[in-house]
Chain A
Amino acid sequence: MDTVKSSVTFDIRTKPSGKIKITNWNKSKVVMTGTLLVLTLLSMYGFLTFDYKEINLIQATLDTLANLKLMFLQANLNNFTLAEAIYQIGLTVGLAFLATIIGAVISLFIALFAAKNLSPKPLANTIIIFIAFIRAVPTVLWVFIFAIAAGLGSEAAILGMLLHTVAFLVKAFAESIEELDAGVIEALRASGANWWHVVTNAVIPSTMTSLLSWTFLRFETNFTVAVAMGAVAGAGGIGFELFMASGFYFDMKEVGFITYAILLIAVMLEFMSTRLKKRYIVKS
């Protein structure tokens, strides 16, 4: 016993200064420190090289604060009616809903071929890479690109949002499907079920809840995207009204009202989607 002890007596590591070391620089720690260091340096460099165009930062900040005060404390509609506002919100929600629901249906089909436990690896990988490519393009660019072919409007907006939705959902769906217990699929296969049987009897029923919550999560995102498309890509809806109120009428009170409306819908959607997520995604 004693000999064992004495053989490990000199394993205390020391720093060059002679002090006892207590940390251990493993790979994970090195990479984390490195990442933070690089991000910090890049940020510092970024701040030094921005084109500030001789802006008066203090004045601009004060102006913004004054605007925010006006917006949030005296929110009001001036250039259009409440009924119209509700219609425009409905339009934006409608855009988001269409893009989400059509996207979800398409994604479900594609995801079946993108999940590695249902489809041959080369096919699954090809789809995943292709999807990653589509996802990397910002939604607004897709909308603009579709607008050339389909004209600016709801079609282009929905198609653009749809493409991005599909790219997002296929990945999420495929991952949900891959989490499925391998035994279930095997058991069905062994009993002579064909591929479609497996899909309709095992895959879809047991992943349904998680697919639904992913879809809802995307709906939440798509609402924000639809607002953006209204403001930037002429897709109409509340986003366009926001753009007009701030950039055309310079009416902060109306901007305030619209912002409140968007905030309300977004908070509601977020509330619902967190509840769904808590119930289904986290648990599984």
Chain B
Amino acid sequence: MKIDVYRKKKRQFTIFALIVLCMTFISAKLTNFSFVQGISSVPEAFRWMGSNLLITRESFEKMPSILDKLIETIFLSITATTTASIIALLLALLGSQTTKVNGFFSTLSRFIASVFRNIPIVAWALILLLSFGQNALTGYFALFLATLGFLTRVFTETIDETSNSSVEALQSTGANYYQVVSKAVLPECSPQMISWILFMVETNIRSSTLVGILTGTGIGFAFDLYYKSMNYNVVSLITLSIVVVVISIELISNYIRRVIL
């Protein structure tokens, strides 16, 4: 009996491994990826990085303008996240099983969230670019929509998971919907929700770099500019400054999470 289970497991694993191997092979064919070339270019790439991605004294002269762009990017991701989180909260309240108003709005909210988070942020950026042009608002709306989708989902899950019992208690005292939301749901869920908002701010800094390359705003634009003019010293300075910002935000968020959760 036990040996049987063991054999079955082993067979399942072998089949699984074969499928993965097959898919790897197909993927490699499809993408023209050669493992040999790929692997051999890694040391090359790192050697190149080591010798070219140096931050020189001259590149520091660009620091003020880099800082300017960086701040623009930071603000972009914060504004997009906070505004999206407000709408996401409303949608999540409609979507959650505990706080839903009716089945129709609940399904609608889940549907909206799913569409918004599964259309990649680049797609939003490209679509918005057509009417908004190369503008900070293009990036703002692209980040906003993708964030809205993600936050609605996690907020809905948070409400579903954490506030069931106290909602029941408050309803049984005769409290109405708005009172239940403000006195039970929000106090119970806000730590988790703030944690997700911080996570999203962090993610959005990286995303807005990507979007910035398309929309010609923020640090993404600066990176693209110096990259195309092959000024790699400045490129590495920009990269480093992004790293510093992202890690600082991560550290601050971690501190906040430790205190509130």
Instruction: Name A's B-contacting residues (CB within 8 A).
Output: 27-28, 31-32, 35-36, 39-40, 42-43, 45-47, 49-53, 55, 57, 59-61, 63-64, 67-68, 71, 87, 90-91, 93-95, 97-98, 101, 132-133, 135-141, 144-146, 148-150, 153-155, 158-159, 224, 227-228, 231-232, 236, 239, 242-243, 246-247, 250, 252, 255, 258-259, 262-263, 266-267, 270
Contact = CB atoms under 8 A, between A and B. Distances in A.
Interface stretch (B57-65, B92-100, B167-175, B208-216): B208-216
B78 A43 contact: yes
A32 B260 contact: yes
The secondary structure that dominates the B interface is helix
B33 A98 contact: yes
A132 B114 CA distance: 29
B164 interface: no
B126 A150 contact: no
Contact of B122 (A39, A63, A227): A227
A64 B82 contact: no
Contact of A149 (B23, B45, B243): B45
Q: Which of A67, A154, A247, A270 has the most CB of B within 10 A?
A: A154
Q: What 8 A-B pairs have minimum CB-CB distances, sorted nearest first?
A: A46-B75, A63-B131, A94-B27, A149-B45, A136-B246, A266-B118, A46-B79, A94-B30
Contact of A64 (B32, B127, B210): B127
B123 interface: yes
Nearest to B52: A148
A52 B136 contact: yes
Contacts of B33: 98, 154-155, 158
A150 B44 contact: yes
Given A60-B137, A262-B118, 8 more contacts: A36-B194, A43-B82, A51-B72, A63-B130, A98-B31, A140-B213, A232-B122, A247-B126
A7 B207 CA distance: 60
B178 interface: no
On chain B, which size bracket covers the interface? 35 or more
A136 B114 CA distance: 27
B48 interface: yes
B256 A50 contact: no
Nearest to A228: B122
B123 A227 contact: yes
Nearest to B252: A35
B41 A159 contact: yes
Contacts, number: 220
Q: Which of B76, B129, B132, B201 has the most CB of A within 10 A?
A: B132
B90 to A, nearest CB: 16
Nearest to A232: B213
A135 B209 CA distance: 14
A132 to B, nearest CB: 6
Contacts of B28: 94, 98
A246 B75 contact: no
Nearest to B29: A94
Q: Which of B23, B83, B120 has the most CB of A within 10 A?
A: B120
A255 B126 contact: yes
A177 B185 CA distance: 34
Contacts of A94: 26-28, 30-31
Contacts of A242: 122-123, 126
A86 to B, nearest CB: 11
Contacts of B133: 53, 55, 60
A270 B45 contact: no
A75 to B, nearest CB: 13
A137 to B, nearest CB: 6
A243 B32 contact: no
B119 A259 contact: yes
30 contacts: A28-B260, A31-B256, A35-B194, A35-B260, A36-B194, A42-B82, A43-B83, A46-B78, A50-B136, A52-B136, A53-B136, A97-B27, A98-B28, A136-B246, A140-B209, A140-B213, A141-B209, A141-B239, A146-B45, A148-B45, A158-B38, A159-B42, A231-B126, A231-B214, A232-B122, A242-B126, A250-B130, A266-B119, A267-B118, A270-B114
